[in-house]
Amino acid sequence: MSTVFSDFSTVQYGGPQVTEPLTYRYYDPAKIVLGKPLGEHLRFAVAYWHSLAMNGSDPFGAATINRPWMDASLDPMTAAKMKADAAFDLFRVLDLPFFTFHDRDIVHEEATLKETLANLHTMADYLQAKMQGSKVKLLWGTANLFSHPRFMAGAATNPDPEVFAWSATTIKHCMDVTKQLGGSNYVLWGGREGYETLLNTDMGHELQQFGRLLTLVVEYKHKIGFDGQILLEPKPKEPSTHQYDFDVATVYGFLKRFGLEKEVAVNIEANHATLAGHTFEHEIATAGDLGILGSLDINRGDPLLGWDTDQFPIDLLGTTMSMYHVIKSGGLGNGGCNFDAKVRRQSFTPEDMIHAHVGGVDLCAHGFLLAVKLIEDGRYDKVIADRYAGWKTPEAQDLLAGKRSLDEIAAQTEAKSIDPQPRSGKQEQIENLLLRSIE
């Protein structure tokens, strides 16, 4: 059947010299890097919501992206199937290995929960059949527990236990569907798990609710034998003024509190990192250090705007350093690089959608290859190693291992009485080295 993407042939790898825009210049999925194919390091995914469901409307203006399946006069299940057909056609064009979706992306909500869930399972069967005729796999599934007005005060953290139960029920079905489709992960982004004002909020109670929901999810994962990872996606604000899953460090504290730090990892999004006042690489390095790096949502914010613009990324140095920290953290494992990114509302043609993904894929692949080069070159790692070389002495090792009490340290230091001399942090040298490495 024909879709808005039918006219486009599959994007091929052409090499860095190629000038044809709809060609991958760096993303050669079969290229062996660090012992395995590049495609298996990056595990790119197309996000259903931004690529198929977004219509370009904003708080000031109407839809600009009018795809055939968005026609309001269509029967909703017919529209959902048309959308799925277009989705798989887009996956064919981009030739990326994974996709991701929320329940509400693949099918509309009905008047009753029972009908809504029945339709969800019908569409899951439809997607399963489509997957049999395609190479694409599911990186993760998730539930949209933030768009409908019932979630205005949160899902798991809603003051109303009936909303908690509704949310838990929806998640149960979305986990079933994710397992059915062979998903590698199940994601929870707490869209409205937070508050607008502490004046009407019992924060301690809401955090208990959030912990309970997550515990239920982990228990159910084991009960049904879902072998994918459970991932929490940190975000500090928007839509809520304050969200409980603020950033990676906050999420880790929350997981520790409920004894879930070995069961749940994080899905880190670049634009969310920016909103939290961090860089993407800071969040990746933090998760790597804590052993909870799960997956990445690839995008960028606009430095001139303070909200979640979810643009396709273009920063090569930032991407290289993010990939450097992914590699140093041991890689993405069962996670991947999901394009949680949307075209601008003026980019309403199907071709814009393809350009956007080709650019994002190539940037990440290029950044990954440059990060490998940086590691193999060794000079950057040596600058860091030299900076901490003092800690390699047996005396310093004892200090770190807790073999000296505070008064022993004081006695030794006072006896030596050596004034530590300042050393250069070499920031500009390092910046030059990095800029030269991406030439």
Nearest to 247 by CA among 270, 263, 229, 230: 270
Quick one: DSSP state of residue 61?
A: B
Find tokens 């007005």 and name the residue: 149
Nearest to 384 by CA among 334, 350, 429: 429
Q: How far apart are the first and last CA of the chain?
A: 44
Strand-strand pairing, 32-33 and 36-37 = antiparallel
Decide if 242 is catalytic: no
Which residue, 85 or 340, is less far from Co ion as judged by CB?
Answer: 340
Least spacing, CB of residue 407 vs Co ion, in Å: 50
Least spacing, CB of residue 297 vs ligand XUL, in Å: 5
Q: Which of 221, 297, 325, 363 binds ligand XUL (CB under 6 A)?
A: 297
Q: Which of 142, 158, 295, 311 binds ligand XUL (CB under 6 A)?
A: 142
The partner in contact with residue 85, picked from Co ion, ligand XUL, none with C-beta cut-offs of 5 to 8 angstroms by kind, is: none
Q: Which residues fall within 8 angstroms of residue 174, CB to CB, at 6 or more apart?
A: 103, 120, 141, 142, 143, 186
Identify residues 255-284 at the interface with ligand XUL (CB under 6 A).
Answer: 269
Nearest to 92 by CA among 2, 17, 179, 204: 2
The partner in contact with residue 308, picked from Co ion, ligand XUL, none with C-beta cut-offs of 5 to 8 angstroms by kind, is: ligand XUL
- C-alpha torsion sign, points 117, 120, 125, 128: negative
d(CA 219, CA 118): 24
Which residue, 3 or 240, is less far from ligand XUL as judged by CB?
Answer: 240
Q: Taking a C-beta distance cutoff of 8 angstroms, is the pair 271, 234 a contact?
A: no
Least spacing, CB of residue 57 vs ligand XUL, in Å: 16
Nearest to 187 by CA among 234, 151, 127: 234
List the x/- string, 152-191, binding to ligand XUL by CB under 6 A: -----------------------------------x-x--
Which residue, 270 or 374, is less far from ligand XUL as judged by CB?
Answer: 270
Decide if 272 is catalytic: no
SS3 of residue 58 by DSSP = strand
Least spacing, CB of residue 341 vs Co ion, in Å: 9
Phi, psi of 100 (to 5 degrees): -140, 155
Q: Which of 103, 233, 263, 362 binds ligand XUL (CB under 6 A)?
A: 233
The partner in contact with residue 142, picked from ligand XUL, Co ion, none with C-beta cut-offs of 5 to 8 angstroms by kind, is: ligand XUL
Which residue minimizes CB distance to ligand XUL? Answer: 189
Among residues 105, 176, 247, 340, the one annotated as catalytic is 105
Least spacing, CB of residue 187 vs ligand XUL, in Å: 6
d(CA 216, CA 188): 13
Number of residues that bind ligand XUL (CB under 6 A): 10
Which residue, 102 or 173, is less far from ligand XUL as judged by CB?
Answer: 102
Among residues 28, 41, 50, 102, the one annotated as catalytic is 102
Least spacing, CB of residue 439 vs Co ion, in Å: 32
Least spacing, CB of residue 299 vs ligand XUL, in Å: 8
Identify residues 352-391 at the interface with ligand XUL (CB under 6 A).
Answer: none
Task: Transcribe 67-133 into DSSP letters.
Answer: -GGG-TTS-HHHHHHHHHHHHHHHHHHHT-SEEEEEHHHHS---SSHHHHHHHHHHHHHHHHHHHHT
d(CA 30, CA 211): 41
Tokens of 129: 């059949």
β-sheet bridge partners, residue 99: 46, 138
Please report, as ranges, the residues that interact with Co ion according to CB under 5 A.
269, 297, 340
Please count the residues of the chain: 439
Q: Which of 24, 340, 354, 364 binds ligand XUL (CB under 6 A)?
A: 340
Q: Which of 43, 67, 173, 235 binds ligand XUL (CB under 6 A)?
A: 235
d(CA 434, CA 439): 9
Q: How many Cα atoms are found within 13 Å in the side-chain-facing hemisphere of 335?
A: 28
Under the binding rule (CB under 6 A), the answer on residue 151 touching ligand XUL is no
Q: How many CB atoms lie within 10 A of CB 327?
A: 19
The partner in contact with residue 235, picked from Co ion, ligand XUL, none with C-beta cut-offs of 5 to 8 angstroms by kind, is: ligand XUL
Q: Which of 308, 353, 360, 372 binds ligand XUL (CB under 6 A)?
A: 308
Which residue, 176 or 340, is less far from ligand XUL as judged by CB?
Answer: 340
Identify residues 86-105 at the interface with ligand XUL (CB under 6 A).
Answer: 102
User: Residues in the site for ligand XUL, rule: CB under 6 A?
Assistant: 102, 142, 187, 189, 233, 235, 269, 297, 308, 340
Active site residues: 102, 105
